[in-house]
Structure 1
C-alpha cells in the first residue's frame, strides 16, 4: 500500500511539473535578450582625420541600459561613399578613413526607450576626427538615436560624446532630469 501511495505521489508531482512548464509559456519573457544595432560613423574630410587605432563605443537610453563595444573596428560591415549611394564593399580598406561612412553591426542588451547618449573612445597614438555617429535599433526603429555630431579631434583614452537624455532648456541653462552621478547621502553619526 505504501508503494502505491509513493508511485501516485511521484506521478502526481510529474504531472504537476509538466502543467507548470506548459503554463510557463505565457509568462513574460526574460528581459536579458539581445538586440542588433547598426552603427553608422562618418570620418570628416580634414587632412589627417583618419585613424587605424582602436575605437570603442558606448551608447544607451534614459533607463540606464548601457551598451559598451570594445574595439568597434572588428564589427565593421561595410563602407559607404557619402557623395554617391554606391556601397564600397569590394574595396579592401580599413574603417575610419577620411571622407567615408562606415557601418558596424553590434549586438547587445535591448534598450527600452530611444537611444539618447553616445560616446566614442580612441585608444592609440593617431588623431581621429569623426564627423557624426548614429545608432539604429534593427528590431524597433523608433528606438534609434539621433545624429551625434563631433567635428573635432577626439582626445585619446577617454570617453567623448553627447548625452541628450531628458534635458530641458530653461532661461538659466540646460537642466538635467536624469541623475546618473547623484551624490549619496552622508551616513548618520552616532552620539558617543
Structure 2
C-alpha cells in the first residue's frame, strides 16, 4: 500500500512539474524581414470593423520617442489591419511608463494571431505589451519587453504555418 501511495505521489509531482514547465515558456518577439503588407486581400462585404489597440510603454524605455511607429496585425486567413503611423510626436505618445489607446478602423478579421510593430528613427522605444480588442473575439496581448529594432517589422506570428499561400505574413 505504501508503495502504491509513493508511486501515485511521484506521478502527481511529475505531472505538476511538467505542466508548469510547459506553461512557463515565454515567446520573444522576432524580426520578420519577409513581412509584407497585404493590400490585395479583398474584404468579404466591403465592411469595416473597429479595433481598440492599447500599447503600454515600458518604464525602461527612453522618456519619450519621436520615432515613426507603425502597426500591422491580422488573422490566419490573410485579413490584415495596417496603421502606417500611430504616434504623434508632439502629443506625448509613447512616453515612458505610459499606456496609449488607439481606436482603429480596418478590414474585419477573424481572431488576431499575429502582430508586428515597425519603428524608424533615432530615439529608440521599448513597448511592454500591446493588446488588440475586437468586438467579436477575445482580446489578444503580445508581450514585448524589448527594444524595437530600427527599420524592420518586429513582433509575433502565432498563426505561421496555418496561413493559406499568398497571404501577408509568410
TM-score interval w.r.t. the shorter chain?
A: 0.5 to 0.7
- For residues 128 and 62 of structure 1, do their structure 2 counterparts lie closer, same or farther at Cα, with a shift above 3 Å needed? same
Name which one, 1 or 2, has greater alpha-carbon Rg.
1
Instruction: Tell me, yes or no, if the aligned pair for 1:49 and 1:127 is still in contact at 8 Å.
Output: no
Correspondence for 1:154: 148
Does residue 56 (structure 1) correspond to residue 56 (structure 2)? The answer is no
Which structure has more relative contact order (CA 8 Å, sep 6+)? It is 2
Correspondence for 1:27: none
The secondary structure found in structure 1 opposite 2:140 is coil
Where do residues 1-192 of structure 1 align in structure 2 (5 Å cutoff)? Answer: 31-46=45-60, 48=62, 50-74=64-88, 93-111=91-109, 113-137=110-134, 139-140=135-136, 142=137, 144-165=138-159, 176-178=161-163
Instruction: Tell me, yes or no, if the aligned pair for 2:72 and 2:83 is still in contact at 8 Å.
Output: yes
Give, in whole Å, the separation in 1 of the partners of 2:127 and 2:63: 7
- For residues 52 and 153 of structure 1, do their structure 2 counterparts lie closer, same or farther at Cα, with a shift above 3 Å needed? same
Q: Write out the 4+ residue segments of structure 1 that deviate beyond 4 Å after TM superposition.
A: 179-182
Instruction: Tell me, yes or no, if the aligned pair for 2:71 and 2:115 is still in contact at 8 Å.
Output: yes
The secondary structure found in structure 2 opposite 1:162 is strand
Give, in whole Å, the separation in 1 of the partners of 2:157 and 2:123: 25
**What are structure 1's unaligned runs of at least 5 residues?**
1-29, 75-91, 167-175, 183-192
Give, in whole Å, the separation in 1 of the partners of 2:99 and 2:49: 23
Count of residue pairs the alignment pairs up? 123
Give, in whole Å, the separation in 2 of the partners of 1:60 and 1:177: 13
Instruction: Tell me, yes or no, if the aligned pair for 1:41 and 1:132 is still in contact at 8 Å.
Output: yes
- For residues 103 and 180 of structure 1, do their structure 2 counterparts lie closer, same or farther at Cα, with a shift above 3 Å needed? farther
1:177 shift after superposition: 3.3
1:48 shift after superposition: 1.8
Give, in whole Å, the separation in 2 of the partners of 1:179 and 1:50: 39
**What are structure 2's unaligned runs of at least 5 residues?**
1-43
